Amino acid sequence: MSPTASPTVSSPVRTIRIGSRKSQLALVQTYWVQERLQQAFPDRTFEVHTMSTHGDKILDVALSKIGDKGLFTKELELGMLNGEIDFAVHSLKDLPTRLPEGLMLGCVTERENPADALVMHETHKDKQLQDLPAGAVIGTSSLRRLAQLRHHYPHLSFKDVRGNLNTRLAKLDAGEYDALILAVAGLERLGMADRIHQALPAEISLHAVGQGALGIECRADDAEVLTLLKALQHQPTADRCYAERAFLRELEGGCQVPIGVNTVLDGESLTLTGIVASLDGQTLVKDSMTGAATDAEQLGTELAKRMRQQGAQEILDEILATLNRG
């Protein structure tokens, strides 16, 4: 080195800030992401920053009546756009299919079981869903679950239930409900798999778009974060979820609309099944399409268009009119 040369000063390695909701399940999922990234990049620092979202604060109103598709994401998205956090971890089913300008879905993690779970009150532990007596009260905050279960089990009664998983289970155990319908993946992630009485088959309840997978949302121009997130991307899950999200996007449905899906990946072939149901469960439009996994989004879009022509649009129009009147 010449006497006049300056020593090279390396710039500090950037700390990556991960955004999360404050709920127990959200934190379990976010810390799982943090741990996997820390293992993949031991020289980096990943910090978790928590925020309360609109959906976390309103617990006494049914989700379908709040009328906002970004209930659990908006505050986190603002944090990214404002530079407060670098990416956010979501249950993919909560992430709208249309994201704010400047943000993108940067990664989809390997999917857990996407099925819906039946959780029974102790007095019915010897029964299955179809064995419950007429008028038994089933708790669910999902119009998708509600419509499909009303179709198959019109003799049952349904009541909205909000709050985190522990709150919902406490209401069940206190006798407010005879059973709850929750997500298998959420119960398993919280170490509550023993509460699952039955995983509902797809013939009874098609699951929510993206259910069981985590979606990591980030700034579209953040090449460094996008490179890091590649370590968590699970392409088979991503292909399935891209098809599901394209299906939902084309139908323009959110948490207020009973839309369910199921995807099966067989080698390079992807089969997507979708359902659109009326609120009372009396009218269902259900269909399937198979295509190449590499064309997942096109597959979802085409199935939605075909189902529209089969009567799905009329169902959706009536649901939106009903909800607007309510």
Confidence of residue 325 (pLDDT cuts 50, 70, 90): confident
Question: What is the tens place of the pLDDT at every residue in 255-297?
Answer: 568 999 999 999 999 999 999 999 999 999 999 999 999 999 9
pLDDT of 70 reads 59
Q: How far apart are CA 18 and CA 12, in angstroms?
A: 18
Per-residue pLDDT tens digits for 11-66:
678 999 999 999 999 999 999 999 999 999 999 999 999 987 654 444 443 444 43
Across the range 145-171, mean pLDDT stands at 94
Q: Tell me the whole-structure pTM to 2 decimals.
A: 0.89
pLDDT at 57: 44
pLDDT at 253: 67
Model pLDDT, residue 71: 57
Question: What pLDDT does 1 receive?
Answer: 45
User: Which pLDDT does position 73 carry in this prediction?
Assistant: 85
Give the dihedral of Cα atoms 152, 155, 159, 161; nearest 10 deg.
Answer: -50
219-225 contacts, C-beta under 8 A, 24 or more apart: 219/80, 219/81, 219/86, 219/87, 219/102, 219/103, 219/104, 220/102, 220/103, 220/104, 221/102, 222/86, 222/87, 224/14, 225/16, 225/86, 225/87, 225/106
Q: What is the DSSP code string of 43-102? A: TS-EEEEEE--HHHH--SS-HHHH--TTTTTHHHHHHHHTTS-SEEEEEGGGS-SSPPTT
**What confidence score (pLDDT) does residue 255 get?**
57
Q: Is the pLDDT of residue 217 over 80?
A: yes
- Residue pair 121/174 in contact (Cβ under 8 Å)? The answer is no
Could you give all domains of the chain from N- to C-terminal order, each with its CATH number?
Answer: 14-109+213-233 (3.40.190.10), 116-199 (3.40.190.10), 234-326 (3.30.160.40)
Are the CB atoms for 131 and 155 separated by under 8 Å? no
Mean pLDDT, all residues of the chain: 90
Is the CB of residue 184 less than 8 Å from the CB of residue 117? yes
Residue 66: per-residue pLDDT: 37
247: tokens are 């299906």
Confidence (pLDDT) at 326: 62
- Choose the catalytic residue: 56, 68, 86, 94: 94
Backbone angles phi, psi at 219, to 5 degrees: -70, 135
pLDDT digits (tens, 9 = 90+) for 74-97: 899 999 999 999 999 999 999 999
**pLDDT above 80 for 173:** yes
pLDDT per residue as tens digits for the range 102-119: 999 999 999 999 999 999
Q: Among 14, 66, 11, 12, which residue's Cα sits nearest to residue 227?
A: 14
Q: In the prediction, which pLDDT does 322 show?
A: 80
What is the pLDDT, as a whole number, of residue 131? Answer: 94
Residue 58's pLDDT is 42
- 218-229 pLDDT, tens digit each: 999 999 999 999
Return the exposure string of 30-61: e unless at least 16 CB atoms fall within 10 Å of the residue's CB, then b. beebbeebeeeeeeeebeeeebebebbeeeee
Judged against a pLDDT cut of 60, whether residue 162 lies above it is answered with yes
Which amino acid is residue 55, in one-letter code?
Answer: G
Closest CA to 250 of 175, 290, 301: 301
Instruction: Using alpha carbons, select from 233, 234, 236, 228 the residue that is nearest to residue 40.
Output: 228
Looking at residue 323, its pLDDT comes to 74
Does residue 123 contact residue 174 with C-beta atoms inside 8 Å? no
- Tell whether the model's pLDDT for residue 180 goes beyond 80: yes
Structure confidence at residue 285 (pLDDT):
97
- Cα 291 to the chain's mean position, in Å? 23
CB-based contact 119:180 (threshold 8 Å): yes
On whether the CB atoms of residues 274 and 286 are closer than 8 A, the answer is yes
pLDDT of residue 59: 43
Active site residue 116: no
Q: Please give the Cα distance from 311 to 309 (Å, whole number).
A: 6
